[in-house]
Structure 1
C-alpha cells in the first residue's frame, strides 16, 4: 500500500522547469532513497511534499490526501528533518524537542530520553550555543520521538560524525521494523545503500532510474579479479568486458552483469586459482549515470 505517491509532478519557477514529470512512491514499511546531485530537484520535490510549494501540475498524494490542500492534516502524521536545522536561539534543545513532539500530538517521554542519550545531546543548553551537528541531533531526536507514519528526511546526517550516523541508521531501521515508512534524500550513497529498499535517482528534474538496488545493479557492472594457472587469452574479444588491466594479483576488469555467465565459462578453461568479485556500489552506478554530464551541479539546490 502506497503512503506517498507522486505522479507527473512538474514545478516551474518562471521559465525554469525545476521538476519535469517526476514519478515515485513510498509504500508502507519501506525505506526509499532519493538521490541526485545538487540542483537536481531533490529539495524542491520535498518542499512540494510538505505543502510549502504548490506544484505547477501533477498529483502528490500522502495518506491519500492532497499534499497542498490537506497539508495541515498530513503534517500530524509525518516527521520532517531538513539538512540545515534552524532553531529558536533562546530555547534549550530539550524545550525545542518537547515543542516539536507536542505539535505532532505524541508524548513518549521514555523514547525521548533514550534518544537524547543515544545521540549524546545535552538538552539543557540554549540552541544558540549548539554546533551544526547538535542542531541536527535536536531535529532527529524530535522526529524519532514522535509517532509518525512517514519520515521525510532531507540530508538528515549532514554535520554528524560517523558514530552518530550509525545511531541515525539504527533509528531508521527501528521505525522500519515498526512498519513505518521513510523517504531518505541523501548524498551519502553508502548510507542509502545500507538503509534503502528502493532508490530513485533524479537528474535535471527528471527521475532517470528507479528500483531496488538489485534491479539497478543489472544495469551496471561487477568488478572482477582473476588469477589462473595458464595465461588467459581472448578475454578482450568478449562482449561486456571493460577496464581490463593486469595487476600483480592477476587480471582485473569490470563485466556487465548480463554477460557474467559467458565470461566465467571462458576464464574457467584456463584453470582458475583465485576469483574475486565485488558487486557494484551505488556510487559506481551513480557515477556512471553522471559521467560526462555537465549538470553535476555545483552550488545550491533548486
Structure 2
C-alpha cells in the first residue's frame, strides 16, 4: 500500500508555543482519514504545512511523494483544499468565482460544476456576498472537488451546512474515494468523522494521542446501560453484577415499589456476561447502547491527562 501523506517528527513553533510536537503519521493512498481534536489541537496547522502555507520548524513532510515546496504548481493542482476559515470574494457571482478557481486548478470536466451545484443546492447566479454562510461553504466544497484531485484536504468541511446537505457531502467524499482519491478530513464533530472515515488520528495539544481504525476505536468505548428489574432484591443484584468484567460503577435504585429496581451504569467490552447475569431476574426493561466514537475519544483524552 502506498502512502499519500507522511509526517516525520514534525514540530511547528510560534514563538514559545508549540502547535505541533513531533508528529509522525502516514496516511495510506485511497483512504478517508480523519484528524480529530478540539480547537487548538493542531489540526489546521498540520493541514497548512501540507500545502506549504506554513513551514515546519523541524521534521519533514511528503505529499503524494513530494515535499510541499518542491512539488510546486503541479502538486497543488492535484490537491483540493477547503480551509476551515473560508473567505470568498463577494462582488462576483458563484459561477464567476468558480471559473476563476478553474483557471487556477487546471482542467475541470464539462458539466462538473453544474452537477455539484445541483447536488448541493446552491444558486451559482447569485452574488457571493448575498449568500448565507452555508451556501458559501457549498461553494468552498465545489472548488475543492470540481477538478477531481488525487488528494482532498478538508478542514471542518460541513461547518454551517444543514444535515441533509451533509449527507450529500458524505456521498461526494465516498465517490472521490471510489475513483482512487485520498481524503484527509479534520473535524471536532466526531459523528461526522465516524460516518465517513476509516482511520483516525487523535490530536491533543499538538501531539498524537493515538491512531486507529474507527471500528477499533469504537469498540474500546464503554456502553451506557440501564435496566428495570421486577421482584428483585438489591443486594442479590449487586452480588450478581460484581463478577462482570469491565462493568463500571452501577447505580441500583429502589423505586416506589420496593421490589422494582432501576440500574444505570457503563460497560466496556462484550455485553454477553451482563445479559446472562440479568437473565436470572425478571427484566421489565433493558437498554444497552452501541458504543460510539465520541465516548472512545473522551476516554482517551481522560487517560492522557484530561480533555482540553
Q: What TM-score, normalized to structure 1?
A: 0.88
| CA shift digits 1:239-266 (9 cap, x unpaired) | 4222423478953321121x64544454
Could you say which residue in structure 1 is the equivalent of 2:29? 28
* Greater relative CO, 1 or 2 (CA 8 Å, sep 6+): 1
| CA shift digits 1:198-230 (9 cap, x unpaired) | 111100100102111222134331223345676
- Pairing 1:233–2:238 present: yes
Q: Secondary structure at the match of 2:238?
A: coil
Q: Secondary structure at the match of 2:295?
A: helix
Could you say which residue in structure 1 is the equivalent of 2:265? 253
Could you say which residue in structure 2 is the equivalent of 1:285? 296
Could you say which residue in structure 1 is the equivalent of 2:64? 63
| CA shift digits 1:33-74 (9 cap, x unpaired) | 111011111111111011111111122111111123324332
Q: Distance in 1 between matches of 2:114 and 2:215?
A: 38
Moved more, 47-56 or 133-142: 133-142
- Matched-pair contact (CA < 8 Å) for 2:44–2:84: no
Q: Distance in 1 between matches of 2:52 and 2:72?
A: 5
Q: Distance in 1 between matches of 2:215 and 2:163?
A: 26
Q: Secondary structure at the match of 2:248?
A: strand
Could you say which residue in structure 1 is the equivalent of 2:10? 9
- Matched-pair contact (CA < 8 Å) for 2:219–2:291: no
Q: Distance in 2 between matches of 1:155 and 1:67?
A: 21
Q: Secondary structure at the match of 1:151?
A: strand
Could you say which residue in structure 1 is the equivalent of 2:147? 146
- Pairing 1:72–2:73 present: yes
Q: Distance in 1 between matches of 2:7 and 2:266?
A: 36
Q: Secondary structure at the match of 1:33?
A: strand
Q: What TM-score, normalized to structure 2?
A: 0.86
- 1:97: Cα distance to partner? 1.2
- Matched-pair contact (CA < 8 Å) for 1:98–1:142: no
Structure number with larger C-alpha Rg: 2
- Matched-pair contact (CA < 8 Å) for 1:83–1:157: no
Q: Distance in 2 between matches of 1:250 and 1:109?
A: 62
User: What stretches of structure 1 of length at least 5 have no aligned partner?
Assistant: 297-302
The verdict on how the C-alpha distance between 1:294 and 1:197 changes in structure 2, with shifts beyond 3 A counting, is closer
- Pairing 1:108–2:109 present: yes
- Pairing 1:125–2:110 present: no
Could you say which residue in structure 2 is the equivalent of 1:300? none
The verdict on how the C-alpha distance between 1:239 and 1:74 changes in structure 2, with shifts beyond 3 A counting, is same
Could you say which residue in structure 1 is the equivalent of 2:160? 159
- 1:101: Cα distance to partner? 2.7
- 1:238: Cα distance to partner? 4.1
Q: Distance in 2 between matches of 1:294 and 1:267?
A: 33
